[in-house]
């Protein structure tokens, strides 16, 4: 369906950029992947950390609570970018509800573009009244200490690819099928990521705070073949097959991310692996506490979940935690040893 629309568009208006392709495949209002499909979980295409275990959102909640307490307990806004099915925020809010004064000082903003996911998030978080939804960061006022979160959000943003000085495009081959035009080493940029960092700085610089993004990507030289990838039913999938029914992501360039945040006036901290971050925020203590009240089967389940989140063979080192703070902020927990 979507492939047909994209091909017709190319026949009519000429080749499209990689960014246009991602935008259409993922976010087309009628046929886009995030607009129409249920990507998450065992029956979906990929499983994210908050969907693996409640402990992920809980650890982020405790990390925020500690940072906020040491910042003098100001009025607080937590913004989550791309909240998916809302699990992270649900676990974060439950884990922080007994932190003295946090919830009375708190306003939550969910930044989401998929109407289908907004409806799911609203349903899941219906117990909370101090929460609202916005289509992007630009509609939020810079009037409060702000913490911005995003798990597997940056990888979903459309990227641009260049070969030399030419932007790489997608056209049609002789058989009328989608194909990349031109060859050579590929360089990637993500203008949306830059805009988001600038917006984050606009929100954080006046009253303090930080942003924290968890994602997979690279820290040294960029792969010359580019980093676009499609995933369907938990396996890599050819990019031009099942468009609109497979997830498409690009790896996050963490060096570029750090540079963008410095450029925007924030202070980027050393990158941590997800495993180290979760260990330092106390996931093993939380695991023990949950296991005490669990059945034998649940105990095993909890252990498997922690293993998935922490193990270098699974998500532990592939996923990185990037944090940038207000330049005068205290150093957030887990980053102080670096």
Q: Which residues bind ligand SAH (CB under 6 A)?
A: 34, 40, 48, 50-51, 81-84, 111-114, 117, 136, 151-153, 156
Closer residue to ligand SAH (CB): 15 or 316: 316
Closer residue to ligand SAH (CB): 10 or 157: 157
Listed residue (199, 319, 181) closest to 249, CA to CA: 319
Closer residue to ligand SAH (CB): 15 or 50: 50
Which residue has the closest beta carbon to ligand SAH?
A: 82
Going from the C-alpha of 308 to that of each of 278, 290, 296, 314, 319, the distances in angstroms are 12, 17, 19, 6, 11
CB of 41 to ligand SAH, least distance (A): 9
CB of 61 to ligand SAH, least distance (A): 15
Residue 254 CA to residue 257 CA, distance in Å, equals: 5
**How does DSSP assign 170-232, residue by residue?**
EEE-TTS-EEEE--S--EEE-HHHHHHHHHHHHHHTTT-EEEEEEEEEESSSPPTT---EEEE
Written as six digits, the tokens of 237 are 């999938």
Distance of CA 154 to the CA centre of its chain: 5
- The DSSP H or E segment spanning 80 is strand 76-81
CB of 153 to ligand SAH, least distance (A): 5
Residue 257 CA to residue 219 CA, distance in Å, equals: 10
Burial zone of 280 (CB within 10 Å; 0-12 exposed, 13-18 middle, 19+ buried): middle
Closer residue to ligand SAH (CB): 15 or 244: 244
Written as six digits, the tokens of 192 are 């949306």
Closer residue to ligand SAH (CB): 39 or 208: 39
Closer residue to ligand SAH (CB): 84 or 268: 84
Closer residue to ligand SAH (CB): 180 or 277: 277
């Amino acid at each position: 369906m979507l492939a047909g629309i994209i091909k017709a568009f190319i026949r009519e208006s000429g080749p499209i950029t990689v960014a246009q392709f991602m935008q259409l495949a993922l976010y087309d209002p009628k046929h886009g992947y995030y607009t129409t499909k249920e990507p998450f979980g065992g029956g979906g295409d990929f499983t994210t950390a908050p969907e693996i275990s409640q402990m992920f959102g809980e650890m982020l909640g405790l990390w925020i609570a500690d940072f906020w307490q040491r910042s003098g307990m100001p009025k607080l806004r937590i913004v989550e970018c791309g909240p998916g099915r809302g699990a992270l925020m649900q676990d974060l809010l439950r884990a922080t509800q007994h932190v003295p004064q946090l919830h009375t000082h708190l306003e939550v903003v969910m930044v989401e573009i998929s109407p289908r996911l907004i409806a799911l998030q609203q349903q899941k978080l219906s117990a909370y009244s101090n929460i609202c939804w916005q289509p992007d960061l630009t509609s939020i006022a810079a009037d409060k200490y702000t913490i911005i979160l995003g798990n597997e959000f940056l990888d979903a943003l459309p990227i641009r690819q260049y070969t030399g000085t030419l932007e790489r495009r997608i056209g049609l081959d002789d058989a009328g099928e989608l194909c990349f035009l031109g060859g050579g080493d590929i360089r990637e940029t993500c203008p949306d990521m830059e805009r988001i960092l600038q917006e984050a700085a606009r929100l954080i610089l006046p009253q303090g705070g930080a942003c924290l993004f968890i994602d997979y990507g690279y820290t040294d030289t960029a792969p010359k073949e580019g980093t676009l990838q499609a995933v369907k039913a938990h396996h890599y999938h050819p990019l031009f097959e099942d468009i609109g029914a497979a997830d498409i992501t690009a790896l996050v360039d963490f060096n570029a991310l750090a540079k963008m945040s410095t450029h925007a006036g924030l202070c980027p901290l050393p990158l941590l692996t997800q495993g180290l971050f979760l260990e330092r925020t106390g996931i093993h203590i939380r695991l023990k506490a949950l296991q005490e009240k669990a059945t034998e089967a649940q105990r095993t389940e909890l252990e498997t979940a922690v293993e998935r989140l922490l193990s270098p063979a699974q998500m532990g080192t592939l996923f990185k935690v990037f944090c940038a703070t207000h330049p005068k902020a205290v150093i957030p927990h887990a980053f102080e040893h670096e």
